[in-house]
A and B are shown apart, each in its own frame.
Chain A
Amino acid sequence: AQTVTQSQPEMSVQEAETVTLSCTYDTSENNYYLFWYKQPPSRQMILVIRQEAYKQQNATENRFSVNFQKAAKSFSLKISDSQLGDTAMYFCAFMKPEGNTGKLIFGQGTTLQVKP
């Protein structure tokens, strides 16, 4: 069975600085997807970034980028130029595709506080 571990329950960062959230996972699969989801307080969960395991290039979405180390089974999220609106709980998630569906297996989450 796949597992996802986020070892940092809480983190804080000053506005405009850079922060990295850690995530490791365990799987014997070769074809899978990794995601970072953001859940702001009392608001819905949204996708931040997605990485396909077969792609060596790290995914980037504006201020968000990942460091995907497949051999080490590590998938960290870097947030550059942190903004107050980045305050949220961040979940790392693993998915093994099963046809047109796939079950997300979430880590425990990291609560990020961006301070002014």
Chain B
Amino acid sequence: DAMVIQNPRYQVTQFGKPVTLSCSQTLNHNVMYWYQQKSSQAPKLLFHYYDKDFNNEADTPDNFQSRRPNTSFCFLDIRSPGLGDAAMYLCATSTGPTYEQYFGPGTRLTVT
């Protein structure tokens, strides 16, 4: 089945140690999104790609970076994780014209 896959599902990192989260899709969608979702809160958009065009949200910390080497893969890099970065990170994809976003299962990041 076509889907959005996130690896790993659970990630533990140390304070200040860089970490990379991965997202892949078999839907061939041209838009990919990264959201941060803290416990019992709404997802908050960090950035998105339309093809290779990168769009950063104004309030996304500089600590967060992203790469999209091809249509299928997108990575979230957290350069120096702080305790406040502990959260669920959701990847989503979409394509026109319905604008429906398809979400992956998320990666739960713990910072120790």
User: Taking beta carbons and an 8 Å cutoff, which residues of A are in contact with B?
Assistant: 33, 35, 37, 43-47, 50, 89, 91, 95, 97, 99-104, 106-109, 111
Contacts and interface: CB of A to CB of B under 8 A. Distances in A.
Q: Is the interface of B mostly helix, strand, loop or mixed?
A: loop
A50 B42 CA distance: 18
Nearest to A6: B42
A100 B50 contact: yes
Interface size class of B (residues with CB under 8 A): 20 to 34
A109 B50 contact: no
Contacts of A97: 99
Interface of B: 30-31, 40-43, 45, 48, 50, 55, 90, 92, 94-96, 98-106
Contacts of B106: 44
A47 B100 contact: yes
Contact of B42 (A44, A101, A108, A111): A108
Given A46-B103, A104-B101, 5 more contacts: A47-B102, A91-B43, A95-B99, A101-B48, A109-B41
A77 to B, nearest CB: 16
